[in-house]
């Protein structure tokens, strides 16, 4: 994993949260994650393939997911997540993946996204690849951004 790859992915993720959803984002200190990676209550997993193989996991609480969905619905209050809410959250994953692809392309890596997967319920991810984990403070919620990138 190289710094410019990680930075591109963080920049893409941030651009969706700040630029499109209007949320305030501040990032914390990155750490190298030793297995397992904790999912949070809900996580969205975005894959990218091409010159790089990237796994991006955004783990958060249900409250954080509701806050994101609320923004996507133009500020409507969201207490529970129904099918349309899950569709919106999956689309959020799609936007993040695409924004990261654009940033990686700008850094010379041609990549494409795979459809996002949502993991509901706390679990542990185990992988042969190492992840870098960065906490994002997003308005009053925290989102853990876990990134793994390998040259293809």
Partner 1 sequence: MSKRILIVDDASFMRMMIKGFLTKHGYTIADEAANGMEAVEKYKQTTPDLVTMDITMPEMDGIEAVKAIRQMDPNAKIIMCSAMGQQNMVVQAIQAGARDFIVKPFQEDRVIEAIKKVLT
Q: Which of 117, 138, 141, 144 is nearest to 36 (CA)?
A: 144
Measured from the CB atom, the residue of 111 and 132 that comes closer to partner 1 is 111
Of 104 and 143, CB closest to partner 1: 104
Q: How far is the CB of 96 from partner 1 (least distance, A)?
A: 9
b/e for 99-122, b at 16 or more Cβ within 10 A?
bbbebbeeeebebebeebebbeee
Shortest separation between residue 26's beta carbon and partner 1, angstroms: 22
Q: Closest approach of Cβ 99 to partner 1, in Å? A: 8
Short-list 32, 34, 31, 41, CA closest to 123: 41
For the bound state, the minimum distance from the C-beta of residue 130 to partner 1, rounded and expressed in Å, comes to 27
Residues in the site for partner 1, rule: CB under 8 A?
16, 20, 72, 83-84, 87-88, 90-91, 94-95, 97-99, 101-102, 105, 110, 112-113, 115
Fill in the DSSP letter of residue 78: -
- Nearer Cβ to partner 1, position 21 or 37? 21
State the minimum distance, in angstroms, from the CB of residue 84 to partner 1. 6
Q: Name the one residue in this structure whose structure tokens are 């410019």.
A: 4
Nearest residue (CB) to partner 1, 72 versus 132: 72
**Given the DSSP bridges, would you call strands 37-38 and 124-125 parallel, antiparallel or unpaired?**
antiparallel
CB crowding 30-56: b at 16 or more within 10 Å, else e? eeebeeebebbbbbbbbbbeeebebbb
Pick between residue 91 and residue 140 the one whose CB is nearest to partner 1. 91
């Amino acid at each position: 994993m190289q710094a410019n790859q990680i930075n591109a992915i963080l920049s893409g993720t941030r651009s969706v949260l700040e630029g499109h959803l209007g949320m305030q984002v501040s990032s914390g200190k990155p750490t190298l994650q030793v297995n397992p990676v904790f999912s949070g209550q809900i996580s969205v997993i975005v894959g990218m393939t091409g010159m790089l193989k990237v796994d991006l996991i955004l783990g958060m609480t249900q409250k954080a997911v509701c806050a994101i969905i609320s923004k996507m619905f133009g500020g409507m209050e969201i207490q529970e997540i129904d099918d349309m809410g899950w569709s919106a959250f999956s689309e959020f994953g799609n936007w993040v993946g695409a924004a990261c692809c654009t940033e990686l392309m700008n850094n010379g890596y041609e990549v494409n996204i795979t459809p996002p997967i949502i993991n509901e319920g706390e679990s542990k991810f185990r992988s042969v690849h190492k992840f870098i984990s960065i906490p994002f403070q997003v308005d009053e919620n925290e989102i853990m951004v876990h990134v793994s990138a390998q040259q293809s």
